[in-house]
């Protein structure tokens, strides 16, 4: 199981990972959160691949019945599960980790404002600290080394850490970012491989998402 956590960019990273893994294993073997089902209610729905009942009691009854059927009767689950974890206050991660046990965790960044929930960036750091501590030592953790708070998590786990970013200390590294009318391109290196990558989208968040997906595809 692969989980994606962070202040931003989770859905883009998850979607890139799904694309890369489906190319490798096929559509039926890889599942991810529909939309952004990543909280205490949405995550169980994502695992069972069910829609929300929204504000309808009747819809929720149908969802619960369908979920019970899937959990007890249907035995066919995908071999690869890629899930977003939505965390914005203390206690969120502990609850979500009561539902999932990830083998691979990705943390995109720790930034932005959490004023709506009275949470500080230090609070969010502690939530992600719990995540990296819970990944088993035979698992893997991908950390964005362009974010200082995220890179500080590298020393808090027994699992293998795969750093990524533009930072020269990153194991998976992007260099020479170039922007054109067709999108953007960059040089990518990981382990002993190097390649020129072209993306028909703009923004570094797409570069990060591509790098993460490439690494995940190579290690799973």
Give me the chain's average pLDDT, please: 84
Global pTM reads: 0.84
pLDDT score recorded for residue 48:
56
**CA 54 to each of CA 45, 48, 59, 63: distance values in angstroms, whole numbers, following the listed order:** 12, 16, 8, 10
Euclidean distance between CA atoms 124 and 41, whole angstroms: 20
How deeply is 146 buried, as exposed, middle or buried, from its count of CB atoms within 10 A (0-12, 13-18, 19+)?
Answer: middle
pLDDT digits (tens, 9 = 90+) for 123-161: 999 999 999 999 999 999 999 999 999 999 999 999 999
Residue 196 half-sphere exposure toward CB, CA atoms < 13 A: 3
User: Which residues face 143 on adjacent strands?
Assistant: 107, 163
Question: Which structural domains are found in the chain, ordered by start?
Answer: 2-219 (3.40.1190.10)
pLDDT digits (tens, 9 = 90+) for 44-72: 565 555 554 444 444 434 444 454 445 54
pLDDT digits (tens, 9 = 90+) for 4-41: 999 999 999 999 999 999 999 998 889 887 665 545 55
**CA 210 to each of CA 41, 135, 152, 220: distance values in angstroms, whole numbers, following the listed order:** 28, 23, 23, 16
Residue 177 has pLDDT above 50, yes or no: yes
């Amino acid at each position: 199981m692969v989980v994606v956590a962070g202040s931003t960019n989770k859905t883009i990273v998850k979607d890139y990972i799904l694309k890369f893994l489906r190319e490798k294993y096929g559509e039926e073997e890889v599942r991810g959160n529909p939309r952004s089902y990543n909280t205490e209610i949405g995550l169980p729905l994502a695992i069972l691949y069910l829609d929300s009942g929204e504000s309808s009691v009747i819809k929720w009854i149908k969802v619960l019945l369908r979920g019970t059927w899937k959990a007890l009767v249907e035995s066919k689950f995908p071999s690869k599960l890629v899930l977003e974890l939505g965390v914005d206050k203390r206690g969120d991660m502990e609850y979500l980790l009561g539902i999932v046990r990830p083998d691979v965790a990705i943390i995109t960044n720790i930034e932005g404002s959490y004023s709506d929930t009275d949470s500080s960036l230090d609070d969010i750091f502690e939530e992600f600290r719990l995540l990296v501590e819970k990944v088993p030592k035979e698992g893997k953790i991908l950390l964005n080394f362009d974010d200082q708070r995220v890179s500080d998590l590298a020393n808090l786990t027994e699992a293998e850490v795969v750093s990524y970013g533009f930072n020269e200390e990153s194991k998976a590294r992007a260099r020479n970012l170039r922007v054109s009318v067709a999108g953007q391109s960059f040089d990518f290196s990981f382990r002993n491989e190097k390649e020129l990558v072209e993306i028909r989208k703009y923004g570094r968040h797409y570069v990060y998402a591509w790098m993460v997906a490439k690494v995940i595809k190579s290690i799973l």
